[in-house]
């Protein structure tokens, strides 16, 4: 479950992201048909929105319609959509979903969903195998004029990193948690900004924290700062300890040199006394003769 803190900070997160990226404008009319949006969402699983959109454009350019796409061989499909993750697997999934539409409605079409209440449209989509909550939310948000927060990889990654939702949540539960948290009127803006931020700043392997508007409210950023401070403190302590050891070694070396010099002087003095004694004894012997 999200923490109590997260329920009071999503507004601040939204404000900070709007300052960094600007407020996205929701299209006055859906940019795609429900079926095109469904296919796009299936292509977008574990793939950036940009790459999924490029794959859809290539598929639409090569196929007469989605019925032809339905019977396209997986390898041919994969050649056209090679920029998405697991293109062969997605070819099989999309073909299976399109075949279900033919079985249920007699055609490869979802335009009838635009005439249904959102709840009924959602119920129909939920009956289709291989169509998950993220895909359904994408169709509702972009093709049916509804409000949802599709749990795209960028959305889940960013919201978990900043501590808005629990890191242990699955994508489906993360989506449910975010939709409970963010009011319907703000869901498009929230989703669009999260995707933009996730693909421009809070990347999968590299985080550009120095350019992030959320670093002051980000849980991961605070953790990294503490680790860095501890690391810096440890290094400083080690440097101080090393400096003390070096100073002690210098003092010890100086002391040893001083002792050696003193010992050398003492030995030299003793040798001088011995030489003097020998000289005096030799002089006495000569005088007796």
Residue 264: per-residue pLDDT: 74
Query: What sign results for the dihedral spanned by CA atoms 73, 74, 79, 83?
Result: positive
pLDDT class for 289, splitting at 50, 70, 90? Answer: low
**Average confidence (pLDDT) over 170-174:** 96
Over residues 49-61, the pLDDT tens digits come to 899 999 999 999 9
DSSP readout, 113-160? GGGS-HHHHHHHHHTSTT--HHHHHHHHHHTS--------HHHHHHHH
pLDDT of residue 246: 74
Strand, helix or coil for residue 232: helix
Collapsing DSSP to helix, strand or coil, 218 comes out as coil
How would residue 278 be classed by pLDDT, with cut points 50, 70 and 90?
Answer: low
Q: What is the pTM for the complete model shown?
A: 0.75
Calculate the CA dihedral of residues 17, 22, 23, 25 and round it to 10 degrees.
-140
Q: Where are the domains of the chain?
A: 4-211, 219-289
* Per-residue pLDDT reduced to its tens digit, 32-55: 999 999 999 999 999 988 999 999
Domain 4-211 falls under CATH 1.10.3720.10? no
pLDDT in tens, 55-97: 999 999 999 999 999 999 999 999 999 999 999 999 999 999 9
Helix axes 87-105, 34-43, angle to 10 degrees: 150
């Amino acid at each position: 479950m999200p923490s109590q803190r997260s329920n009071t900070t999503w507004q601040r997160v939204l404000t900070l992201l709007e300052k960094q990226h600007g407020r996205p404008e929701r299209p006055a009319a859906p940019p795609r048909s429900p079926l095109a949006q469904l296919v796009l969402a299936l292509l977008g699983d574990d793939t950036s929105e940009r790459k999924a959109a490029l794959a859809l454009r290539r598929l639409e350019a090569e196929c007469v319609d989605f019925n032809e796409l339905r019977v396209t061989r997986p390898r041919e499909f994969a050649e056209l959509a090679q920029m998405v993750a697991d293109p062969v697997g997605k070819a099989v999934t999309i073909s299976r979903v399109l075949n279900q539409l033919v079985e249920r409605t007699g055609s490869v079409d979802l335009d009838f969903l635009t005439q249904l209440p959102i709840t009924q449209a959602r119920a129909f989509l939920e009956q289709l195998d291989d169509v998950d909550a993220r895909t359904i939310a994408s169709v509702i948000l972009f093709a049916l004029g509804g409000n949802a927060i599709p749990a795209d990889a960028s959305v889940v990654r960013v919201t978990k990193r900043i501590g808005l939702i629990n890191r242990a949540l699955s994508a489906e539960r993360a989506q449910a948690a975010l939709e409970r948290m963010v009011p319907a009127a703000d869901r498009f803006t929230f989703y669009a900004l999260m995707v933009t931020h996730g693909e421009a700043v809070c990347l999968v392997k590299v985080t550009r924290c120095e350019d992030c508007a959320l670093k002051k409210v980000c849980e991961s950023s605070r953790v990294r700062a503490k680790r860095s401070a501890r690391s810096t403190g440890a290094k400083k302590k080690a440097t101080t300890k090393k400096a003390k050891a070096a100073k002690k070694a210098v003092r010890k070396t100086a002391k040893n040199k001083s002792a050696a010099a003193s010992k050398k002087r003492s030995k030299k003095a003793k040798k001088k006394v011995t030489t003097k004694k020998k000289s005096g004894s030799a002089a006495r012997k000569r005088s007796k003769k």
